[in-house]
Amino acid sequence: MAAVRRPPGDDLLRTYVQARAAEAVGDEARAAQLFAGLAAADPADPTIAQRALDGAIAAGNFPLALKVARGLPAKELSLDARLLLVADDLRAGRVTPALASLETPGQTPDLSFMGPLVRAWDQVMRGDAGAVTTIGLIPANGPLGAFVPEQRALILAALNRSAEAEPFARRAVASAGGRETRVRLELAEAFRAAGDRPRALVMLEGQGRGLAVARGRIAAGQSIGRRIDTPVSALAEVLLGLAISLNRQDDQALPIALAQVARYAMPDNSESSIVLGLLLDQAGRSNDALAAFATVPADDFLIAQARDARVRSLLKERRDDDALAIARAAASARDADSVDFVRLGDTYEAMERHGEAADAYLRAVAAMPASGPGSSEAWTAYLLAGSSLEEAGRWPEARAAVEKAITLAPDQPLLLNFLGYAKLTHGEDIDAAEAMIRKASELRPSDASITDSLGWALYKRGKVSEAIATLEKAAAGDPAQSEIGEHLGDALYTAGRRFEARFAWRAALVTAEDKEAARIKAKIEQGLGPATAAP
């Protein structure tokens, strides 16, 4: 770590302004260094040191963060700073001081809820079966309650009690959400290490090259390198889960800090890099996010997720060529699979290269394993291809692609609605179109988009009063969707309710895109006519 320089007295104000400016533009690394210099110049001001500490953690500058944290009184430390010191102790095998940091009475914020997790895994390392009881001390309604099934399964497997672990493992997978692949991998490795290959393979059921490669290694008796078997690795997993959960709230700083601490606690955990990158990207720190994604090795089990995240971030930054280069390279590899072709299709679609997107989606279907064509991945790829072909003006091919999807999933509302609405738009087989949409609506009555399609089908059939009632229901379900508002306005105008029609069109104009906005403005000014009617 570069030495922290103390600014000369005359430069203190300038350094402070520079530090605040760096904060404002999201350059946490520079801000942390500048604040650290100010803190060194004025050790009596803990506020400046705290800003340096916050910035260093946010930037992932752990040497600086640890240096500043150790120079502050414990009562001055934030939650993430205390957790960083705990992680540092656990990485060095210092369990006793780590527990003392977590469980010292009267500290704010109170981190004692972390104590049972660390204690349980310390017991596991000593072969103490009491770890199962200890992990059960975590309150179900507390901050770590959602992670208890996962941790209990891992602990039981580590104690060679895999039959007892299995129900908890299944529960953990079912509730893992976006962490499902990672949770499957860690549980599979736990069962493998316990000598239970069949249960390890069960944990790896699912689509994706990462899981397929992991199944191959487990079947060959090899480790997949994902084991949670120490207090520090368990802490890292839980911190990542907390970062994801807390990200649903308004505060972006704490989830990023927790993900950074998790990354420090377990540097080789690729999930921490992906989660951190997603959080940074959401916070507008795209360069830092891309750097985090790029640290995931090409042979990592989660490389597909890392590539997806990189491509999305690049597209959001309008770096289309860079995004396309990554997507093309993955789809051109000898071991490319359907995930790689879907990513390529998504990239082309974002670039409005619809024909090439459709080709990529169809290649995704062709790349699926023999058991794949009936899966949700297959009908989804056909639907994506159909949507892209429709955008490309290739309606007959689009219809054929979606019809193939419907043969695979005849009761899938999304497919029925898409094909039915497209038929309406093209004025093709209106009876069949309405029947498809009506079936979709029966299968998913609360879906505002499908309700809108049904209302529009009724309007096209001349059932204007019934259409208005249905479209009003759709608008109530999703008032921000411009297409629904435009449809409702057209139906109201046709019924002679012109004031209400213009009110609906004005509401639709708020979220309408350019082409639709121009059409809606013309209707507001001139009224509904053949040239301004919604398609």
pLDDT in tens, 117-174: 999 999 999 999 999 999 999 988 889 999 999 999 999 999 999 999 999 999 999 9
pLDDT tens, residue by residue, 368-390:
875 444 467 889 999 999 999 99
pLDDT value of position 252: 82
Answer for the pair 35, 51: CB distance below 8 angstroms, yes or no.
yes
Read off the pLDDT of each residue in 79-98 and give the average, rounded to a whole number. 94
Q: How many CA atoms lie within 13 A of 511 on its CB side?
A: 12
pLDDT value of position 40: 60
Residue 16 in this model has a pLDDT that exceeds 90: no
pLDDT tens, residue by residue, 302-345:
899 999 999 999 999 999 999 999 999 999 999 898 999 999 99
Answer for the pair 67, 33: CB distance below 8 angstroms, yes or no.
no
Better pLDDT: 107 or 493: 493
Rounding to the nearest 10 degrees, give the CA dihedral for residues 34, 40, 43, 46.
30
Band of pLDDT at residue 213, cut at 50, 70 and 90 = confident
What kind of fold does domain 423-535 have according to CATH? 1.25.40
pLDDT value of position 324: 97
pLDDT value of position 373: 45
pLDDT value of position 1: 47
Residue 238 in this model has a pLDDT that exceeds 70: yes
pLDDT value of position 44: 56
Give the H or E element holding residue 501.
helix 498-509
Highest mean pLDDT among 51-65, 147-161, 214-228: 147-161
Per the prediction, the chain carries an average pLDDT of: 89
DSSP letter, residue 424? H
Query: Quick one: what percent of the chain has pLDDT higher than 70?
Result: 90
Band of pLDDT at residue 43, cut at 50, 70 and 90 = low
Please give the full DSSP string across 150-207, using - where no structure is assigned.
HHHHHHHHHTT-HHHHHHHHHHHHHT-GGGHHHHHHHHHHHHHHTT-HHHHHHHT-SS
pLDDT value of position 51: 79
The dihedral region occupied by 393, where left means phi > 0, alpha psi between -120 and 50, and beta the remainder, is: left
Band of pLDDT at residue 456, cut at 50, 70 and 90 = very high
- Residues 158, 227: Cα–Cα separation, whole Å: 10
- Residues 242, 244: Cα–Cα separation, whole Å: 5
Read off the pLDDT of each residue in 248-259 and give the average, rounded to a whole number. 84
Read off the pLDDT of each residue in 204-218 and give the average, rounded to a whole number. 85
pLDDT value of position 104: 80
Read off the pLDDT of each residue in 206-220 and give the average, rounded to a whole number. 85
